[in-house]
A = this chain, B = another copy of it.
Amino acid sequence: MITKQQILDALSHVEEPDLKKDLVTLNMIENIEILPNKIKFDVVLTTPACPLKGHIEHACRNAIALFISKEVEVEINMTARVRAVENAQLKNIKNIILVSSGKGGVGKSTVAANLALALANSGASTGLLDADIYGPSVPIMFGLDGARPESTQTADGKTKIVPIEKFGLKLLSIGFFTDPNQPIPWRGPMATSAIKQLFNDTDWGDLDYLVVDMPPGTGDIHITVAQQYPIAGALIVTTPQQVALADTIKGMAMYQMEGVQVPILGIVENMAYFTPAELPDNRYYIFGKDGGKRLAEQNEVPFLGEIPLLKSVADAGDNGFPIALDKEDPVTQSFEEIAGRVAQELSILAATV
């Protein structure tokens, strides 16, 4: 008869590659069941978007075969419980991810929306907060033009905004509260107070990830958000163009300033190249080549991936169906990989804090 201890001993030989410790030490093994000729257990990963899921499952099976028996049937339930970055103020939200860019128009909102969808598709409960107070994109990108969130009364009598649910995401945008044809010429303090409401006065429920689409640049909203909320990390979007990279460096430096100190999860290069349908082998590097990749190397931050300049991606945003909803599109795979990398970086950060 196999014992629980034998199973734990065997699995203590399996290392979580990112966290550099074994699964038993990391308390990742749960619900061990021993049946006549079968054993069952759960592996509780740090994120459902873990790109190493298959690798870890395989390593567990090998460990049982090697240290216990090749004959026993092994049923592994790969599950996940997202670990929280220290977070007292918004304690139902485990990880707040800022999607940021030094320069506007680099596709920050496209990356934020599709990253959030990819995280949600992996099984994580995910929200998307559109904090681009001067140019909110979520209403158009999710086909929610003119939508107005409802409000609810919490148990302690507070009125809270209810995010709009669509495509498996909890969505909130400053654009839901304004006339799309009217400008928001808010001076700094007004913008700051609006953004605080979207964070604090919203019934976000329990979230593994809250992806925040930040305004471009380095202004009031960045200082407020970075100083007042426990941010798990920032993902930086850039195009390969020199003038965009210059602003990106500034954007990253801001997050590394004293009193701000938001970890940089990595750089995504958008509009990397264009490929016409008639010339599928040609890549036109309209904005230059590998600018984002080089920037990541120079600043020793992870390069999370590149997204080509595609009419399908632009159209998808305009039409209210972000590209990551189309599981067949190769760009969706790119976003899934980016989501995996982001989730991985966050798991490492949560484990090392």
**Interface of A toward B, CB cutoff 8 Å:** 102-106, 109, 134-135, 137, 140-141, 180-189, 191, 215-220, 222-223, 239, 241-244, 246-247, 249-251, 253-254, 257, 260, 274, 276, 278-279, 282, 284-288, 309-311, 314-315, 317-318
A134 surroundings in chain B (CB, below 8 A): 102, 216-219, 247, 250
Closest 8 CB pairs of A and B: A104-B104, A105-B105, A188-B188, A134-B217, A183-B254, A242-B318, A135-B247, A183-B250
Tell me how far the C-beta of A170 lies from the nearest C-beta in chain B, rounded to whole angstroms. Answer: 21
A127 to chain B, nearest CB (A): 20
| Neighbouring B residues of A288 by C-beta, 8 Å | 314-315, 318
Q: Report how many copies the assembly holds.
A: 2
**Do B184 and A250 have beta carbons less than 8 Å apart?**
yes
A136 to chain B, nearest CB (A): 8
Determine if A286 and B314 form an interchain contact, defined as CB atoms under 8 angstroms apart: yes
A219 touches which one: B109, B186, B287 (CB < 8 A)?
A: B186
Complex Cα spacing A284 to B284, Å: 12
User: Closest CB of chain B to A195's CB: distance in Å?
Assistant: 13
Q: Which among A104, A186, A191 has the highest number of chain B CB atoms within 10 Å?
A: A104
Given A134-B250, A187-B219, output 4 extra A-B contacts at Cβ < 8 Å. A185-B260, A186-B219, A219-B219, A287-B314
Partner of A285, one of B104, B141, B189, B311: B311
